[in-house]
Amino acid sequence: MDWKSISEEEAKNHPDYGFGGGLYAVYAICVVWSLHSLYIVFLDSGYALTQSYGYENMTMADFTCFIQFCLMVPFIYLAPKMHKVMPNVAVSLFSVNWAIWFTFGMISPKAIPISVVVTAVTLFMVVYIARSTRVNVTYRHRVRA
């Protein structure tokens, strides 16, 4: 898809400029995902939730959830600040996060269903960040040519 660069002033005057639209959904997913990861690391002491996903190695589940939380923090911080590096950082972090989930889904066959769900959600977020007019206008200062 071809994009045309615009000035920061033109971007601010564009109707799609700002933190909103589908970006709210992506942001909400990331906040819930982060809270979920923190819950597993600190509050799921009996590992009921972790085991319900099919995971058998609880130490590895705690470690990966902690890493996943760390991977969401930059996006949660940068997105509302409308920082220009957010789209590149988000796609990179979401891809690494997906790789973690998908890998552990493949290691534990019982966890494949949750890995498929996470794959679908991650794919939605990556495609949205990469192709959204709102993201491109707000963060990259460009519009469709």
Q: Give the Å distances, CA to CA, from 19 to 42, 82, 95, 133, 138.
A: 31, 7, 22, 12, 8
pLDDT, one tens digit per residue, over 73-87 is 999 999 999 999 999
pLDDT, one tens digit per residue, over 32-70 is 999 999 999 999 989 998 888 877 788 888 888 899 899
